[in-house]
Amino acid sequence: MTVSPFDHPLLAGLLGDEEAARHFSVEADIAALLDFEQALAEAQAECGVIRHEAEAAIVKALATFRPDTAKLRAGVATDGVVVPELVRQVKAAVGAPHDAYVHFGATSQDVIDTSLVLRLRQVVDHIGLLLGENVVRLTGLELEFGNRELMAMTRMQPAIPVTARDRIAAWRAPLERHQERLKELSGRLLVVQFGGAAGTLEKLGDKAATVRAALAAKLGLGDAPQWHSQRDGLAEFAGWLSLVTGSLGKFGQDVALMALVGADIKLSGGGGSSAMPHKQNPVKAEALVALARFNAVQLSGMHQALVHEQERSGAAWTLEWLILPQMVVATAAALRLAAELTAQIESLGH
């Protein structure tokens, strides 16, 4: 099934990004879910909540654990989340008597949200690198063509001559601010979620905070109080993703308009047409506009999901799943395309 172009064997070549998408595969998700369960057992043994024998049994079982994915699928259809069935399978792999300490004190949302954050950490690294690459390439473009003249266009009309440097700056400066923003928000985003059934870690008594800190440390995440019904960190990140694609969409639109008018830019490797062999379509530039508008649309849904009722909203939470991974991949794809498009610019200004 390939309903989304980001998953589509053909369309993903243009609109997808393999490295970003990789983190949203079933394999990556399950691996991160199991990382949580292992780190939890280790943290709880370290803090004296469970015995080291239990920890060892869990770690050993997880080392060779292979889930029954057909049952996981059926579990999701019934439970709305994969964790109850996954934990059942892990417990069976661990066996008595230590199975009682698998997933101890945790709830599905702890595992799923933390799994997401673990993968977003890698995504942030990947996207951060792509962002830096774009800044570098635009700087290169400025070095090469910055002094040339361009006709500034305001309200779809020729205004006065400026330099190519001026326009390139309007493409690059927002990216540099996005780098700054990413630093600011990362501390709020990349934190563990661990709260138990209703956020109070009621099974851990006075060891709750210590276990949570140890768990976070083992997973390489920041420690923070549970945020199961507080989704502002994710919505903020989604907003950042859409800021990035929006800025790149402006770049794409500018390039497409220059290609339309024709005098100010020369692009290599444009797309071909099935009816008109003479054409060189600015395909990547157009895709940047499409991805910008796509993320601008999706962002609305991530903010709708802020209305996350009570201690856990199945509806609001599920809405995030439907949206955030695609926003991530759209952003990575846009960054990849923008870097490629910059490399296609053979001439700018005159």
Question: Are 324 and 234 spatial neighbours (Cβ–Cβ below 8 Å)?
Answer: yes
- The reply on whether position 164 binds a copy of itself by CB under 8 A is no
Which of 52, 124 has the CB closer to a copy of itself?
124
Query: Does 308 contact a copy of itself by CB under 8 A?
Result: yes
Of 53, 125, 149, 232, the one binding a copy of itself (CB under 8 A) is: 232
Query: Residues 18 to 47: which contact a copy of itself by CB under 8 A?
Result: 18, 21-22, 24-26, 29
Can residue 222 be called a binding residue for a copy of itself (CB under 8 A)? no
- Does residue 80 bind a copy of itself (CB under 8 A)? yes
Q: Give Cα 79 to chain centroid, integer Å.
A: 25
Largest Cα–Cα separation, the chain: 79
CB of 310 to a copy of itself, least distance (A): 4
Per the CB < 8 A criterion, the answer to whether 339 and 137 are in contact is yes
Q: Which of 41, 49, 54, 72 binds a copy of itself (CB under 8 A)?
A: 72
Query: Which of 346, 206, 220 lies closest to 280 in space, CA to CA?
Result: 346
In the list 214, 249, 331, 338, the residue contacting a copy of itself (rule: CB under 8 A) is 249
Nearer to a copy of itself, 52 or 291 (CB): 291
Can you give the C-alpha Rg of the chain in angstroms? 24
Q: Which residue has the tokens 């043994």?
A: 45
Q: Measure the CA–CA gap between 3 and 294, rounded to whole angstroms.
A: 15
| Choice between 132 and 270, CB closer to a copy of itself | 270
- The structure tokens listed for 168 are 């390139």
| Given 87, 118, 130, 345, the residue binding a copy of itself (CB under 8 A) | 87
In whole angstroms, give the CA distance from residue 42 to residue 35: 10
280 contacts a copy of itself (rule: CB under 8 A): yes
